């Protein structure tokens, strides 16, 4: 059962006729991301998949791992040949972050608070706190995705990714993500 008291953020998901809604609420961080990643795989396995809407109206903060998963979705959407994900966001700080990181190339971003782009009623995603190994893998994958978006992100996250790879090698873990 999802407990709001244990987490400062929440991910809610839903779908209506193949349009999937990902609603981020509060401060969304790594502790929610392994469940989010599993949802992404399920979402793309459905034959009725037609698009994604990110509802950020109630988001206060989004960490880079979550942003990496959002970019992962956008890249998979592009591979499918469907419309870019739509991001609903009226928070100036979050909009600036998305723009600065190059999300406008992958997604259509609007601050139109009256936008009724989806009819799904999202429900809380059951989120389990990841173990240390899973969390490290998730952070590494998400940051590799961010790096692949553009040169600025590549420079921004290069040192972090290299440090995580060194740490992983020192711990004897072989990444299934290493290429």
- CATH number of 21's domain: 3.30.750.24
Q: Residue 78 falls within a domain, yes or no? A: yes
The contacts of residue 70 (CB under 8 Å, 6+ apart) are: 22, 54, 62, 85, 103, 107
pTM (predicted TM-score): 0.85
Sort 132 into a burial class: Cβ within 10 Å, 0-12 / 13-18 / 19+. exposed
Q: Residue 173 falls within a domain, yes or no? A: no
pLDDT tens digits along 54-88: 999 999 999 999 999 999 999 999 999 999 999 99
Taking the CB of residue 118, how many other CB atoms lie within 10 A of it? 21
The pLDDT of residue 176: 42
pLDDT tens digits along 116-164: 656 778 888 887 777 888 888 889 999 999 999 999 999 999 999 999 8
User: What secondary structure letter does DSSP report for 108?
Assistant: E
Percent of the chain with pLDDT over 90: 61
Domain with 122 in it: 4-128
Q: Residue 178 falls within a domain, yes or no? A: no
Structural domain count of the chain: 1
Q: Residue 161 falls within a domain, yes or no? A: no
């Amino acid at each position: 059962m999802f407990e709001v008291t244990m987490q400062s953020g929440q991910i809610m998901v839903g779908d209506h006729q193949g349009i999937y809604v990902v609603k981020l609420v509060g401060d969304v961080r790594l502790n929610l991301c392994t469940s989010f990643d599993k949802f992404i795989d399920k979402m793309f396995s459905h034959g009725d998949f037609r698009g994604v809407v990110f509802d950020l109206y109630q988001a206060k903060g989004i960490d880079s791992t979550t942003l990496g998963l959002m970019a992962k979705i956008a890249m998979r959407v592009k591979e499918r040949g469907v419309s870019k994900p739509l991001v609903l966001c009226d928070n100036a700080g979050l909009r600036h972050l998305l723009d600065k990181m190059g999300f406008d190339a992958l997604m259509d971003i609007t601050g139109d608070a009256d936008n009724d782009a989806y009819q799904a009623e999202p429900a809380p995603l059951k989120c389990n706190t990841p173990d240390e190994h899973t969390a490290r893998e998730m952070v590494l994958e998400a940051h590799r995705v961010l790096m692949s978006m553009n040169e600025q992100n590549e420079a921004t996250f290069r040192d972090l990714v290299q440090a995580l790879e060194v740490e992983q090698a020192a711990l004897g873990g072989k990444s299934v993500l290493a290429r």
